[in-house]
Chain A
Amino acid sequence: MTLGRDGIAGLICLAISIWLLVLTRGLPPALMVPIGPAVYPRVVIGIMALLSAIMIVNDLLTSRAAAPAAPAASRAEPGARPNYLLVLATFVAFGVYVLLLPYLGFRIATFLFVAVLQVILDRPRSWQRWLLVVAVAFGTTLACHVIFEDYLSVLLPRGDWSGV
């Protein structure tokens, strides 16, 4: 008997709920009010844990019932598979952008992020496309700076390393 997608999701949620329940142990008892700061979190985390457990059980029961019909289930075309490598690359690019933002500052980090992510998502095959990538990155950075900082007075992150 193996866990399906729902079972794995339930297992992750259950693990998180148990960990959060443990974290509520050190909270102080009720003072001045009928229920203390730990009661409500314990109730909602308990509900989350219970629902996660139900999801795991449901998944196990469903997989047992569906097991004989398994061969008919895989009918996805090979060409239609999601491009998870691209999703991972997008996540990594976004993560690096967020981490570098306080060091490089909004202007440099945004220019690099917009340019790099465009290349990741659709690699340019001509110099005109490369020019478009740079133009979009520069235009986005400039437009954001002008609109937010100059017009709307919304301050954008400054870089500790770059000073801009």
Chain B
Amino acid sequence: MSHYELLLTHIGTILHLQYLIPLVAGTAIGVIGGALPGVTITMTVIMVLPFTFGLDPLQGLAAMTGVYVGGSAGGSITASLLGIPGTPSAVATTFDGFPMARKGEPGRAVWVGVWSALLGGVLGGICLIELTGPFASIALVFGPWEFFSLFVFALSMVAGLVGKSVTKGLLSGAIGLVVTVVGPDPILGVQRLTMGLNFLEGGLPFLPVLIGVFAFAQLMPDVEQIRPTGQDHASVAPKRMSLQVSMLGTLWEVLSRPFLLVWSTLVGVLIGVLPAIGGSAANIMAYDQAKKFSRRPEKFGTGIPEGIIASESSNNANVAGSLMMIMAFGIPGDAVTAVMMGALTIHGIQPGPLFITQHPGVAYGIYAAYIVALPLMVLVIWLGARFWLRIIMMPKAILIPIVLVLCVIGAYALSNTMNDVYVLALFCVIGYAMVKGRIPLAPLILGVVLGDQIESNLIRALATDPDPWLFFTRPISGGLIAASVISVIFAMWQHSREAKRAAAGPEEEEDTDF
């Protein structure tokens, strides 16, 4: 059966009610989560995670893919209507979406964003389907030396690119690696750093760590801003706003700018492929590129469709890039795919180069769910048009306790033990402390995801041949190690240049998204 026949077969499978219901539910929840200010896509997928434990792998992944696609587009609704990005991946949408809405065209702002997300997602989907296989076949020729170097490269790149300090990024990655050495060692099962505590003897499970790190780190900055008067964005939101607009007209606005659409999509896919960078960087970078290439750069920021198209198409194409990385190399493109990776491992499926050949049903199911989720996202936004303003004004006092309860269920249900909930609570404190210390979270998560694999590949390589120079003399491995060093040096140079430029300017808060 050919590549596309398999895809069509699995689209047919996804359209069966048992998969379609989780996908529709995931997409709707994703749009709502993405639209709620302060609730990121990561937080939404973490909330959905416990619901997937009782489902089969493809049902669970369909729900998560729906959240991912829906959330990526949902953030633009709030960005355009309130000027507050629903998620960090919609920051650039506010630059032109909000001015457009304030000029009396809120429907146009939202729908240009939605169509851009759809078309960017479709183009990204083509990249996902066409490139994942060849990427995975590259990884198939890798030995333990190459995998070790690849994971080190991924970690060094993230540590260098995320946040405003290379040292802090690297420190965060190192903390993630330290988390993975707690518990039994991968060869002999010798207990390490457990301090005699029984609940650490199995190691620190990845998902409670991830949920814990993100839960308080993302919710507490909102709690910090709650005032006794209860004033927040809801009080400044308009009470009524019509999103009526010509759907075909807004679609044509996007289609009539094919170069911008394709270029922004490619930027999104590329950023998605880079480990753990995520949509928060993709939309800004695509917006910046669109402005540089534009014949009227001075109009950016005044409410022109180009700004929205660049941000939203790259944002959704980024989803495809992230999925590509997890399916081809087992390296999460961002926190959402890190959660999806955790969900896969719960079902005994290890993402990586052999994923597509060993689990074609799940792999093509993910492709199919991604493709079907895109039109579903448009449908959900269209059907919910009358309710978006009410939904995005949901009080934080109601939302936060519910999110925390779902986090506890997500940790507990992994192995029906309170130990995982205690790990969750411990990492809630660590995550918030890291945010207050302005230490980025992304490298920590990648360190936790890759730590075990870095160690086992190191041991496998040295067990095969004890010569450590092979890490440097084997061409691919040596190239990746060199790339790691270069990426850190480049990041240090870039940061010092930015620091000199911004020496006189006010300091900004770190982006706490993955």
Contact = CB atoms under 8 A, between A and B. Distances in A.
Interface of A: 5-6, 8-10, 13, 17, 20, 23-24, 27-28, 31-35, 37-38, 40-41, 44-45, 47-48, 51-52, 54-55, 58, 75, 82-84, 86-87, 90-91, 94-95, 97-98, 101-102, 110, 113-114, 117-118, 121-122, 136-137, 140, 144, 147-148, 151-157
Nearest to A49: B174
Contact of B409 (A17, A45, A148): A148
Interface stretch (B250-258, B315-323, B352-360, B394-402): B394-402
Nearest to B436: A5
* Interface majority SS (helix, strand, loop, mixed), chain A: helix
A152 B227 contact: no
Interface stretch (B72-80, B336-344, B415-423): B415-423
A125 B292 CA distance: 52
A63 B193 CA distance: 35
B261 interface: no
Contacts, number: 179
Interface string B399-428: 011101110110011001010011011001
A24 B192 CA distance: 7
Given A55-B171, A86-B224, A147 B51 contact: yes
A106 B396 CA distance: 23
B79 to A, nearest CB: 22
Contact of B459 (A5, A33, A117): A33
B458 A35 contact: yes
Interface in B15-70: 50-51, 53-55
Contact of B171 (A51, A91, A151): A51
Nearest to A152: B54
A52 B171 contact: yes
Contacts of B224: 82-84, 86-87
A37 B226 contact: no
A6 B438 contact: yes
Given A32-B188, A148-B413, A154-B54, 19 more contacts: A5-B437, A20-B178, A23-B192, A31-B188, A38-B192, A51-B167, A51-B171, A58-B165, A83-B226, A86-B223, A86-B226, A91-B428, A91-B432, A94-B428, A95-B425, A102-B418, A122-B396, A148-B50, A153-B54
A136 B398 contact: yes
Contacts of B192: 23-24, 27, 37-38, 41
A118 B188 contact: no
Nearest to B170: A51
B190 interface: yes
B54 A151 contact: yes
Given A44-B178, A48-B175, A148-B413, A55 B463 contact: no
Given A83-B227, A98-B408, A154-B50, A40 B437 contact: no
B236 interface: no
Contacts of B405: 110, 113-114, 140, 144
Contact of B193 (A20, A118, A122): A20
B357 to A, nearest CB: 29
Nearest to B172: A51
B143 interface: no
Nearest to A83: B224
Contacts of A151: 54
A121 B397 contact: yes
A101 B408 contact: yes
A23 B193 contact: yes
20 contacts: A5-B436, A8-B437, A23-B195, A31-B188, A34-B463, A35-B462, A37-B187, A37-B188, A45-B178, A98-B408, A98-B424, A102-B418, A118-B401, A121-B400, A122-B397, A144-B405, A144-B406, A144-B409, A154-B413, A156-B409
A110 B224 CA distance: 23
Contacts of B165: 6, 58
B168 interface: yes
Contact of B421 (A47, A82, A98, A118): A98
A114 B458 contact: no
Nearest to A54: B167
Nearest to A119: B397
A9 B168 CA distance: 10
B466 interface: yes
A96 to B, nearest CB: 11
Contacts of A32: 187-188
CB-CB nearest 3 A-B residue pairs: A152-B54, A122-B397, A82-B224
Interface in B223-267: 223-227, 230
B265 to A, nearest CB: 36
A55 to B, nearest CB: 5
B201 interface: no
A47 B187 CA distance: 23
Contacts of A58: 165, 167
B409 A117 contact: no
Contacts of A8: 437
A47 B405 CA distance: 36
B395 A114 contact: no
Which one of B171, B409, B436, B439 has the greatest number of beta carbons of chain A within 10 Å? Answer: B171
A114 B216 CA distance: 16
A163 to B, nearest CB: 17
B99 to A, nearest CB: 25
B174 A40 contact: no
A8 B171 CA distance: 14
B455 to A, nearest CB: 5
Contacts of B55: 152
Contact of A90 (B181, B223, B409): B223
B226 A121 contact: yes
Contacts of B458: 35, 40
Contact of B396 (A13, A17, A121): A121
B511 interface: no
Nearest to B422: A98
Which one of B167, B226, B409, B466 has the greatest number of beta carbons of chain A within 10 Å? Answer: B167
A102 B199 CA distance: 15
A41 B406 CA distance: 33
